[in-house]
Structure 1
Amino acid sequence: MLQQIWSLFSQENAPTDMHAIPCTALDVWPRDLFVTNGIIVDHRLDAVKLEESISTLIKTKFQRAGARFAVRNGTYEFLIPRTFSEEVKPLVFTTDNYAETYATPIGGRPAIPVRPSRVSVASVQPCPALEVYFRSKTCPVNLKSCLAGRLPILHVHVTTFDDITFIGITVSHGLFDTLGTAAFLSAWTRLINGEDINDIPGMPLDCAPFEAFADKPSATPPRGWSQLGLLQGMYFGARMLWKMWHEPEEKMMLICVPKAFVEDQKASIMAELQAQKSAEWVGSSDVLLAWFCKTMHHHRDTADQTPIIIHTAVDLRPLHIWKDGKPLSHPYIHNAMSTITPPPIPASTLANSSVADLALQIRRAIKVYTADLEAIRADISFRCANPIKVLIPCTPDGEAVIHSNWRTAKFGQLDFTGAAVAMDAGAKATVRCMLAYFPSSIPLRGSSVVLSEDDETLWMFYVASSQEWERIKQSGAVQFI
């Protein structure tokens, strides 16, 4: 903050050895949120090949992934080296190697999540403490640690065992969003598996898709977000501080949801709609989010009228809002996400609504959002015109659920076979598990993510206070294991 204030009074030129690219407003507001995406691959991988390939990919196709953060003349920027070298690296890549299987010594390491034997019942379990295998001690935890020394924002830590490999990708949300991470990792695995780098799409160094929105400022905050006045801000702040003081500990728990359970719920809702001769429909992700929100609020008091706003993330890249009214035509790793919000729902109503009613409300909100391209452009233009304005994702007296669905990222389908060590012919090095950790100190309660899926199961996480988890457990709405 002091550095940003000082920059307002001293004009600083861009470093001659760097490309200086202003961050968009969508990059600025989540800059302090750092995420470690943890991928567990079911084979030993060659760490040298992983480092060489990801470095080559950044140097030739995704130079923006090698950015540093800077604040110059009051503006946040990405600084991208004009030339990468041993002294000016494209990323920080660290490794640990164990010449043994992960289960050795027996009982000495956290268990990797596995699907419960009773796959017909959704269940909750603690998120295993595996950060030590995904993160080195030098991984950044906040913006300050990146600004110091102009270190690369992207850190990758690889831990190898004889039977599995942990790959941790730690980055500020100001550089990558989830689908940006997915595009980058997809390109990486294509290169690992021998594809010609010239055939792999990259992100142009000079791309600036949000420039078109910067000169059309909107006076209205994005839908579902509130801009508070002084008294409202004081009231909201007091409520938040009381909650943090009264229930200070946050816990992230994994939720294992059988796909068959979701599909059965969806089939029942669709049969009901067809019986009513309705043209409406719901998707499996609508049903999953509706079930999740109802279940996590099942314990709320029948008199609790606290407004709950459900935010579900939406990818802006494929929408026809960009230049010439077309989707983005190239990979874009930076933030290009917004959120869709149904009308606020009182907590007691949310707890007692049917999954069908909630799923329909979510689907209707999505249809309304995607049908109004001008409203989407107005949401983006407000962000672009107000890069550091503080908005809250609910009303001053309300609460928010911030939900992201990573199914479209397809992390579970990444193939690392090309980097495998001593693999049998025809075998593949596939992703066994996908996890996420947030080393930042930013409160995350109310946040949920669908992490990954396999043929039978969906894996989610949800962050709540320890006391809230106990109330959820006591409600009996979901099985704890």
Structure 2
Amino acid sequence: MASFFGSKHAAPAPGDRVRPLHFFEDSLLVQGNNMAVSLVFNEVLDPEKLRQALESLVKRPGWERLGGRLKTNASGKIEWHIPVNFTAERPAITFVYVNHGVPAASHPAASKIPKPSTKPAVVGDPDNLADIAWEPGYKPNGIKDYLNTDRPVLGLRVNSFDDKTIVTLQWQHVTFDALGMQYVVESWCAMLWGKVSDILTPLSPDSDPFDVLAQGTRPASEQHVLADRQVGLGGMLRWGLGYGVDMFVRAKENRIVCVPESYWRPQLEKALEELRAEAVANGEDVAKVFLTENDVLTAWILQSTVRQMAPNPERLVAASIAMSLRKAFEGDLIPFAARQPYVGNAFGWANVLVRAGDVVSKPLSWLACQIRSAINQQGTRAQHEAYYSMVRSSGIGLPIVVFGDGGMAQVGFSNWSKAGLFDLDFAPARKDLRNNNQPCRPSYVQENHGPVKPVDGFFILGKDSQSNYWTSAYKVKGSWDKFQEQLDKAFKT
């Protein structure tokens, strides 16, 4: 393992560009997790073409930060050390290629790659592929694995089988969030296709565009809509003893769920139909009724999770939905993405507070509407500024504010659909050129992360070519069977 991570006390290389961490990077929330996203292709791909395309991207002007190293300075502060030139001795990315030389079905881990289902179902455990996504036996330890080494923050691992290829992108979370990942994988794909002119130059990392949120140099213009629902110190202690024990002490299990189009689309259509009927009854404009596929999917996951918990109907349920700040601050703190994307971390949250009894008894359309309203209300520039004003005054040292009460049930969501992972076309990397007039897209996508693993923190990974949605999460051990029971009941009705 030492050779994988490099020397524990590697000295800074002369000439490296040294930059401090940005506001969203200087937090245990991102530093606590190393990420690995695995893309499964039902074809044999050329690992060298994949490596060359990604390395060439990182070497482009403006993209070098993805090849940066993380080191602590004499004051104990973590900072970026970005090589001016990448060499064979100091590569732009880490790269590992493993050729297993057998069909995937003959491999103990690859044979467990989940398959789509015809009804909503728990279909597999992403941790079965952990030794493929990471080096075998590796247990992620957060940013410590990168500190004071000469390991780039971005890595590529390719596992080949006779009939499949598993392509894994690895990174320390300080590097980028889900939308930042979108810019990376899309540009990687463009490089693979030779469409260099399509690749935009990211915003320079030399200064932190969101420093105003950290420092409060631009005061909030309004109060946050949930300001009166912030959890106080006593509530935080009570909540921490509950949710914190679940996250850090109790045994957990990772699972992935497939939601086929034949199930989710009728749910969306029914929800829209109910909301339109309600608008008519209230004399409101039917044209303003709006829900996304992900609103309904998030509501459905939340409802299934709360039903699995079987809580007291009066118990508060808090759903935290991660949002990118990019759209709200484009043309203000950051340029428009169509000109210069921001490849980093920039996140906020929409928080939905509802009674458990309402979640399980009211129609899915009602819950989806609560989610859409929270995203619309709390996703504005002014509300994000109000939120981070509360972060500054909270004193907890994390870029989060907890709303609700100390006894609430917490469910989190990170939606990666916009990253378009299932839409990537790696056709130029296929070895068998007989099908070269056909796209080469992932048949399956999963993520692995660690060591911080929040209970009921759902990743919505996107929609595959058959319009199946995929979502994964950790739950307290023994909970997934109860969750499947709820799915079966919902499917019957």
Aligned residue number for residue 4 of structure 2:
none
Aligned residue number for residue 313 of structure 1:
322
Is residue 469 of structure 2 the alignment partner of residue 458 of structure 1? Answer: yes
Asked whether the equivalents of residues 66 and 154 of structure 1 are also in contact (C-alpha less than 8 Å), the reply is: yes
CA distance in 2, matches of 1:367, 1:38: 32
Aligned residue number for residue 124 of structure 1:
122
CA distance in 2, matches of 1:435, 1:290: 21
Asked whether the equivalents of residues 311 and 339 of structure 1 are also in contact (C-alpha less than 8 Å), the reply is: yes
Is residue 276 of structure 2 the alignment partner of residue 266 of structure 1? Answer: no
Shift of 1:297: 1.3
Post-superposition Cα deviations, 1:129-165, rounded to whole Å, max 9, x if no partner, equal 1122222257854211110424212221111123211
**After the TM superposition, which residues 394-413 of structure 1 pair with which residues of structure 2 at under 5 Å, given as runs?**
394=403, 395-413=405-423
Aligned residue number for residue 17 of structure 2:
19
Post-superposition Cα deviations, 1:273-296, rounded to whole Å, max 9, x if no partner, equal 322324333222111111111111
CA distance in 2, matches of 1:210, 1:222: 22
Asked whether the equivalents of residues 300 and 348 of structure 1 are also in contact (C-alpha less than 8 Å), the reply is: no
Shift of 1:406: 1.5
Aligned residue number for residue 10 of structure 1:
none
Q: Structure 1 residues 382 and 93 mapped into 2: Cα distance closer, same or farther (>3 Å)?
A: farther
1:379 partner amino acid: Y
SS of the residue 2:202 aligns to: coil
Shift of 1:177: 0.8
SS of the residue 1:298 aligns to: helix
Q: Structure 1 residues 287 and 333 mapped into 2: Cα distance closer, same or farther (>3 Å)?
A: same
2:239 partner amino acid: F
Q: Structure 1 residues 473 and 458 mapped into 2: Cα distance closer, same or farther (>3 Å)?
A: closer
Aligned residue number for residue 113 of structure 1:
114
CA distance in 2, matches of 1:381, 1:64: 29
CA distance in 2, matches of 1:26, 1:325: 14
Query: Of 436, 449, 464, which aligns to 2:447?
Result: 436
CA distance in 2, matches of 1:302, 1:101: 46
Asked whether the equivalents of residues 31 and 172 of structure 1 are also in contact (C-alpha less than 8 Å), the reply is: yes
Post-superposition Cα deviations, 1:14-69, rounded to whole Å, max 9, x if no partner, equal 86522122222222221111111111122211112222221111011411111222
Q: Structure 1 residues 59 and 164 mapped into 2: Cα distance closer, same or farther (>3 Å)?
A: same
Shift of 1:350: 2.0
**After the TM superposition, which residues 238-257 of structure 1 pair with which residues of structure 2 at under 5 Å, given as runs?**
238-240=241-243, 242-243=245-246, 248-257=250-259
Aligned residue number for residue 3 of structure 1:
none
Shift of 1:335: 0.8
**After the TM superposition, which residues 68-83 of structure 1 pair with which residues of structure 2 at under 5 Å, given as runs?**
68-72=69-73, 73=75, 75-83=77-85
Aligned residue number for residue 6 of structure 2:
none
SS of the residue 2:259 aligns to: strand
In the alignment, structure 1 segments of 5+ residues that lack a partner are 1-12
Asked whether the equivalents of residues 122 and 484 of structure 2 are also in contact (C-alpha less than 8 Å), the reply is: no
In the alignment, structure 2 segments of 5+ residues that lack a partner are 1-10
1:216 partner amino acid: G
Post-superposition Cα deviations, 1:173-220, rounded to whole Å, max 9, x if no partner, equal 111211211211111111111223x44113244363213434425698
**After the TM superposition, which residues 93-108 of structure 1 pair with which residues of structure 2 at under 5 Å, given as runs?**
93-104=95-106
Shift of 1:241: 5.5
SS of the residue 1:309 aligns to: strand
Query: Of 394, 412, 422, which aligns to 2:432?
Result: 422
1:254 partner amino acid: I
Is residue 377 of structure 2 the alignment partner of residue 379 of structure 1? Answer: no
TM-score (norm 1): 0.85
Is residue 58 of structure 2 the alignment partner of residue 58 of structure 1? Answer: yes
SS of the residue 1:147 aligns to: coil
Shift of 1:242: 4.9
More helix by share: 2
Aligned-pair identity in percent equals 20
Deviates more, 1:427-436 or 1:232-241: 232-241
Shift of 1:462: 2.5
Query: Of 338, 352, 365, which aligns to 1:356?
Result: 365
Q: How many aligned positions are there?
A: 458
Asked whether the equivalents of residues 24 and 384 of structure 1 are also in contact (C-alpha less than 8 Å), the reply is: no
Aligned residue number for residue 470 of structure 1:
481
Aligned residue number for residue 168 of structure 2:
168
CA distance in 1, matches of 2:72, 2:315: 39
CA distance in 1, matches of 2:277, 2:203: 51
Deviates more, 1:44-53 or 1:265-274: 265-274
CA distance in 1, matches of 2:225, 2:168: 33
CA distance in 1, matches of 2:390, 2:264: 37
Shift of 1:108: 7.5
